[in-house]
Amino acid sequence: MSYSREFFKGIIKENPTLVGLLGMCPTLAVTTQAANGLGMGLATTFVLIGSNLVISLLRNVIPKSVKLPCYIVIIAGFVTLIEFLMHGFVPDLYSALGTFLSLITVNCIILGRAEMFACKNKVLPSILDGAGMGLGFTLSLTTMGSIREILGAGTWFGIDLPGSIQPMTFFIMPAGGFFVLGCVIALVNKIAHKKPPATLGCAGCPNAASCAAAKEGCES
């Protein structure tokens, strides 16, 4: 197993947000500022690494019949820990993220990596997988937050930018979030040389043969 591949796959090729289209709620809700995107990304990364570590260690102990509740309990434990830490050391960021910090518990990215990777692999690959996916998520949110804050407020990480940037409120509104998300997804797909799925006509339909046979029967 290539450890470097397990780490770097989450940045572009299998980016959970821009390729997997997971975690859309926090992606659109908290990225009105770059600092919020960075904070949410780092908090999610912490939970990803911690939950992947524990789930990988217990992969042969957790019964299959109750694995999902066990995963949620493990993830919720790390979410509670990061909430306590952020509330104590960065209260302003804690308040800005609000309920979306608690909702990390049911984030599809974390549950997906637990089910698809951590419960099937050893500890080190699971940690690298969580770190890579978390880094990809963090970069996505920070990039979106930077674009929206610069264009929508004329600041970056709360710092006024020099020059004649005229803030456009549209970019810090929900519609602006969808617009920026679409542009960033298109850019990542261009970089990754990912092609859109081909449309299925009669030639590409898996049921083409049976449809042709049925048509011939009707005509006869």
Cα–Cα distance between 75 and 185 in angstroms, integer? 28
Query: Helices marked H in the chain — which ranges?
Result: 3-8, 24-29, 34-57, 67-89, 91-97, 99-102, 108-116, 123-153, 174-191, 208-219
Q: How many CB atoms lie within 10 A of CB 119?
A: 20
Q: What is the pTM of this model?
A: 0.84
**How far, in Å, CA of 11 to CA of 135, rounded?**
7
- State pLDDT tens for residues 137-195: 999 999 999 999 999 998 999 888 887 678 899 999 999 999 999 999 998 888 876 66
pLDDT (tens digit per residue) in 80-138: 999 999 999 999 999 999 889 999 998 989 999 999 999 999 999 999 999 999 999 99
pLDDT on residue 167: 86
